[in-house]
Amino acid sequence: MIKISLPDGSIKEVENGSSALDVAKSISQGLARNVLSASFNEKTVEVNDPLPGDGSLVLYTWDNPEGKTAFWHSSAHLLAQALAQLYPGIQLTIGPAIDNGFYYDVDFKGQEFGEADFSKVEKLMLENARQKSEFKLRAISKADALDFYKGNPFKTELIENLEDGTITFCDHANFTDLCRGGHIPNTGFIKAVKIMSVAGAYWRGNEKNPQLSRVYGTSFPKAALLTEYLELLEEAKRRDHRKLGKELELFTFSQKVGQGLPLWLPKGAELRERLEQFLKKAQRTAGYSPVITPHIGNKELYVTSGHYAKYGKDSFQPIRTPDESEEYLLKPMNCPHHCEIYKSSPRSYRDLPIRYAEFGTVYRYEQSGELHGLTRVRGFTQDDAHIFCTPDQLKAEFQKVIDLVLYIFKTLDFQNFTAQVSLRDKEDRSKYIGSDENWEKAENAIKEAVIEKGLDYVVEYGEAAFYGPKLDFMVKDALGRQWQLGTIQVDYNLPERFELEYKGSDNESHRPVMIHRAPFGSMERFVAVLLEHCAGNFPLWLMPTQIAILPISDKYLDYANKVSSLLKNYDLRALVDQRAEKTGRKIRDAEVAKIPYMLIVGEKEEGDETLSVRRHGGSDLGSMSIADFIKHIDAEVAAEIGEFE
């Protein structure tokens, strides 16, 4: 007998050779039916394999992320099996579980595969699933593994990088795949399957490598869950910022202007302006000085900064002047310009920190396939600022920026953000410029600042900017894709390259440290993510049109216009629906336009100088005097914005 301890603290005695599944059966039949994976002594094990001895066991079902991972990982095997059956001669590479499903990268060896083929793959997968084939993991020697995959350069490469003695294959039915393990008991658990898309993916993510076809799929233990998931995707589509942006007339694109170059329509521009004013006010409080710099700069400037060497190919081609020796670049970054402003005058330690802020529009030649609505464009405006400070001031300045970012996220109700500390790649240091010593200092300053602020964060190695480590604030869009919004970056390198100096109290020259920071990130991306976050129902203070005044008939137009001009005097944004439509229609249109407040005015309201107030979404707030309504709105806006201290 062996002793198995379970998460609830209980200890189960089971016979030698029992599997995780046997333990589940000894607890309850219901559990046994639902167990998808297990970990033994904190290591993932095969649920069907005998447990090696005493230890602690955790069983996972669909309700645990571990269970889903095993489920989708196993589904990837099922997909590979079906593809291999349908397309003889294809080469399999890798097929991991991902956030909402799985994919498999295959080389179709020239065979056609497109959307039209999805249903036959799904059908075959389900057919195979019904066989209830067990997944069996077995050890294999490196030599045998290489022999098995002779002729498949991808698997061969994977195996070569593995240690002999640790290599395992997974068999189910008559299908075998290189695999490290973690499977569901058998294929019968997979009840619903959907191939989502097929896309090109370079082997190991490197565009110099051959391109494979990545087949994306998802699967579920119940058909109803698949339906539910597809409905969720539909809902996400309704929240898509590209759709809402069009409907709410915020922005557009024109082929004639160019790819990735957003055109802000009046309502969108107004919204964006309000966001800018909001941040400018907070930045005034925080001691920033506004600066303004031009849209182009001499190429030499970016050669000095190192941007040209690193991002030259991602820039628009240089602009030439009639003077042949001159080359200008559409500015891809604002920092070199700000460095030159710093240098425009000698600086003393008494001047620091200096904080230059600019809503600077920058241009980057993103590959056409990269462009995506407002979240990835070729011309965008950063809410950029550069803080020049002494090394002693770095941590405090960094923390002040964190406060500013958190204030913004709080005001706009972004609760589900991820703070990511991005550090250098541990192995490859060649991607970065600057001394090890400075990198160490910068990385430590960020870590300390984040810990002292009590921020939840994850550390990502290799995600740093080429000139320094950073702290990024990531938010997910409607489809679950993660985008970087706010960013705070420490930089010892630009001060060096631009030979920035200040005179210390010791009358010696010293080098300042720079912080690059953009709490929104870019206005374009921020508006996009905000739009999806609130499904177009922006907070009242941001709404381009806050109030729709709806006269019952044109007899009350005069009163409606009078109310409108009164509201405008209070800096409120109202429109009067002058159409000869029925009230029901006017309300519907205002609802569809997501206007927060509707004021219905007719005979009664005109008589006693009141308003009949309706809130977007259907609630009737009843009758109110104009003064009370203004107070009501002011209170709502004040509650939304709060003060930055």
Partner RNA sequence: GCCUGUGUAGCUCAGUUGGCCAGAGCAGCUGAUUUGUAAUCAGCUGGUCGGGGGUUCGAAUCCCUCCACAGGCUCCA
Among 77, 470, 517, 533, the one annotated catalytic: 470
Least distance between RNA and beta carbon 105 (Å): 9
Catalytic (active site) residue 470: yes
Closer CB to RNA, 98 or 173, in the complex: 98
Which position among 155, 272, 347, 364 bears the catalytic label?
A: 364
Distance of alpha carbon 46 from alpha carbon 22, whole angstroms: 12
Asked if 390 and 349 count as a contact pair (C-beta separation under 8 A), the reply is yes
Q: Which tokens hold the place of 166?
A: 């640790």
| Per-residue binding letters, 313-332, with RNA (x by CB under 7 A) | -x------------------
Q: What six digits make up the tokens of 156?
A: 């061969």
Residue 91 as a binder of RNA (CB under 7 A): the answer is no
In the window 42-61, what residues touch RNA (CB under 7 A)?
Answer: none
Nearest distance from C-beta of residue 212 to RNA, angstroms: 9
Is residue 119 part of the contact set for RNA (CB under 7 A)?
no
Burial class (CB in 10 A: 0-12, 13-18, 19+), 304: middle
- Contact between 246 and RNA per CB under 7 A: yes
Question: Of the candidates 132, 280, 372, 476, which one interacts with RNA according to CB under 7 A?
Answer: 372
CB of 40 or CB of 398, closer to RNA: 398
The interface region with RNA, picked from 147-155, 166-174, 276-284, 375-383 by CB under 7 A, is 375-383
Cβ-Cβ contacts under 8 Å for 627 (sequence gap 6 or more): none
Q: Active site includes 384?
A: yes
Of 512 and 536, the one with the shorter C-beta distance to RNA is: 536
Q: In the bound complex, what is the minimum distance in angstroms from residue 246's beta carbon to RNA?
A: 6
* Among the listed residues 479, 627, 638, 639, the single contact to RNA using CB under 7 A: 479
3-state class of 212 per DSSP?
A: strand
436, 424 contact by CB (below 8 A) = no
Scan residues 296-315 and list those touching RNA (CB under 7 A): 314
Sign for the CA dihedral angle at 97, 103, 105, 109 comes to: positive
Which residue's CB is nearer to RNA, number 183 or number 376?
376
Q: Say which residue the tokens 């249903």 belong to.
A: 119
CA distance 22 to 562: 78
Q: To which residue do tokens 């589904």 refer?
A: 75
- Beta strand 168-172 with 101-107 is unpaired
Of 502-521, which residues contact RNA (CB under 7 A)? Answer: 518, 521
Which residue lies nearer to RNA by CB, 184 or 548? 548
Evaluate the omega torsion of the peptide bond into residue 7 and state whether it is cis, within 30 degrees of 0: no
Catalytic residue among 386, 400, 586, 614: 386
Is 110 a binding residue for RNA by CB under 7 A? The answer is no
d(CA 527, CA 533): 10
Smallest gap from residue 484 Cβ to RNA (A): 3
Per the CB < 8 A criterion, the answer to whether 488 and 515 are in contact is yes
Q: How far is the CB of 531 from RNA (least distance, A)?
A: 14
| Residues in CB range of 21: below 8 A, 6 or more apart | 32, 35, 38, 47, 48, 185
For tokens 């690059």, name the residue. 516
Q: Which residue has the tokens 């402003």?
A: 341
Binding flag, residue 259, RNA (CB under 7 A): yes
**Interface characters, 180-219, with RNA (x: CB under 7 A):** -----------------xxxxxx--xxx---x-xx-x---
Here the tokens at position 235 are: 């809902």
Q: Count CB-CB contacts under 10 A for residue 23.
A: 23
Backbone angles phi and psi of 96, in degrees to 5: -90, 165
Q: Contact with RNA (CB under 7 A): which of 614, 633, 641, 644?
A: 614
d(CA 274, CA 272): 5
Q: Exactly one of 107, 384, 472, 577 is catalytic; which is it?
A: 384
Among 42, 428, 618, 645, binds RNA (CB under 7 A): 618
Residue 448 vs residues 404, 414, 439, 459, 512: alpha-carbon distances, Å: 17, 24, 14, 13, 20
- In the complex, least distance from residue 15 CB atom to RNA, rounded to whole angstroms: 46
CB of 315 to RNA, least distance (A): 12
Active site residue 586: no
The C-alpha torsion from 354 through 458 and 360 to 492, rounded to 10°, is 40
By beta-carbon proximity to RNA, the closer residue of 318 and 379 is 379
Is residue 372 among the annotated active site residues?
A: no
Q: In the annotation, is 386 catalytic?
A: yes
> Of residues 562-581, which lie at the interface with RNA (CB under 7 A)?
580-581
Taking the least distance from each CB to RNA, the nearer of 37 and 610 is 610
Under rule CB under 7 A, residue 340 binds RNA? no
Q: Which residues are catalytic?
A: 335, 364, 382, 384, 386, 470, 516
